[in-house]
Amino acid sequence: MRLALAEAEHAPLTGDVPVGAVVLGPDGSVIASARNEREATGDPTAHAEVLAVRRAAAHLGQWRLTGCTLVVTLEPCTMCAGAIVLSRLDRVVYAAPDPKAGAAGSLWDLVRDRRLNHRPEVVAEVLPDPAAALLTRFFRPNGF
């Protein structure tokens, strides 16, 4: 999570919302990392989770991320939850919950929907405070 937070801290340099993600391989080593790059790339799908999942798959040379864990600083949205299910990640660990758009337990629970053919384990609210503080600072730079 510390590495994901470090990624998130760099996102505002390009005007991006501070969200960072890493993927741990089956042996627990970091195989991919990413931060939100929507503004940096002009790509509406360039969320940290999607980019980290793509990079992890490229690293492993296969689309299935069986045995891997996604660690992300903010609860995934519906798009990222879809990517998580489709990539067959074993586990999702997130920091700050997102009551307005979270799809891993807050507003929706897409990643654990029993109608889908894959349901990763979800570990919520790991080190939520520094991740939430980054977001608060980004959206309310004057503290109001």
- Residue of 34, 77, 134, 135 interacting with Zn ion (CB under 5 A): 77
Residue 11 is a binding residue for Zn ion (CB under 5 A) = no
**Span from 22-30, 72-80, 105-113, 123-131 in contact with Zn ion (CB under 5 A):** 72-80
**Sheet of strand 30-35, all strands in order from the earlier edge strand to the far edge:** 30-35, 20-24, 69-74, 91-96, 121-123
Residue 47 is a binding residue for Zn ion (CB under 5 A) = yes
**Span from 6-14, 40-48, 94-102, 108-116 in contact with Zn ion (CB under 5 A):** 40-48
- Token pair for 17: 């919302």
Least gap, CB of 115 to Zn ion (angstroms): 21
- Token pair for 127: 């080190």
- Residue of 1, 8, 21, 80 interacting with Zn ion (CB under 5 A): 80
Number of residues that bind Zn ion (CB under 5 A): 4
User: Quick check: is 75 catalytic?
Assistant: no
| Cβ-based neighbours of 143, under 8 Å, separated by 6 or more | none
Task: Fill in the amino acid letter for 26.
Answer: P
Calpha distance 36→26 (Å, rounded): 24
Report, as residue numbers or ranges, the catalytic residues: 49
